[in-house]
Structure 1
Amino acid sequence: MQGTPSSVILTQSQLAELEKHAKKWLPNESCAFLLGRGTEQVTVSEVMVVENAEADRVSFAVPADELLKAYKTAEERQLQVTGIFHSHPARPEPSSTDARFMEINPVVWVIYSTTENQFAAWILADSMRQVEIVVR
Structure 2
Amino acid sequence: MIRLSQEHLQTIRTHAESTYPDECCGIILGYLGNGSKIVVEIMPTENAWNTEAAAEFPGERTAESKKRQYVIAPEVMLKTQREVRDRSLKIIGIFHSHPDHPAIPSECDRLYAWQGYSYIIVSVQNGKAGELESWSLDDHHQFQAEAIENII
Same fold (TM over 0.5): yes
CA drift of 1:13 comes to: 0.5
TM-score, with length taken from structure 1 = 0.89
Superposed CA deviations along residues 32-89 of structure 1, whole A, max 9, x for unmatched, are: 1001011630000011111001161000011122111221122011011001100012
CA drift of 1:105 comes to: 4.7
Structure 1: 4+ residue segments shifted above 3 A: none
The unaligned stretches of length 5 or more in structure 1 are 1-6
CA drift of 1:134 comes to: 0.6
After superposition, residues 29-68 of structure 1 pair within 5 angstroms as 29-38=23-32, 40-54=35-49, 56-68=66-78
User: Computing the radius of gyration over CA atoms, which structure comes out larger, 1 or 2?
Assistant: 2
TM-score, with length taken from structure 2 = 0.80
1:111 and 2:121 are equivalent in the alignment: yes
Structure 1 residues 12 and 37: alpha-carbon distance in aligned structure 2, compared to 1, 3 A threshold: same
CA drift of 1:106 comes to: 3.2
* Aligned length in residues: 129
Superposed CA deviations along residues 78-130 of structure 1, whole A, max 9, x for unmatched, are: 0110011000121101100000111x353010000012611100001223210
Conservation of the 8 A alpha-carbon contact between 1:9 and 1:133: yes
Q: Give me the whole-angstrom Cα distance separating, in 2, the residues matched to 1:112 and 1:59.
A: 14
- Counterpart residue identity of residue 130, structure 2: N
Match of 1:96 among 103, 107, 111: 107
Look up the SS of the partner of 1:60 in the other structure. Answer: coil
Look up the SS of the partner of 2:30 in the other structure. Answer: strand
The unaligned stretches of length 5 or more in structure 2 are 51-65
1:75 and 2:85 are equivalent in the alignment: yes
1:134 and 2:149 are equivalent in the alignment: yes
> What is the aligned partner in structure 1 of residue 137 from structure 2?
124
- Aligned-residue sequence identity (percent) comes to 28
1:85 and 2:71 are equivalent in the alignment: no
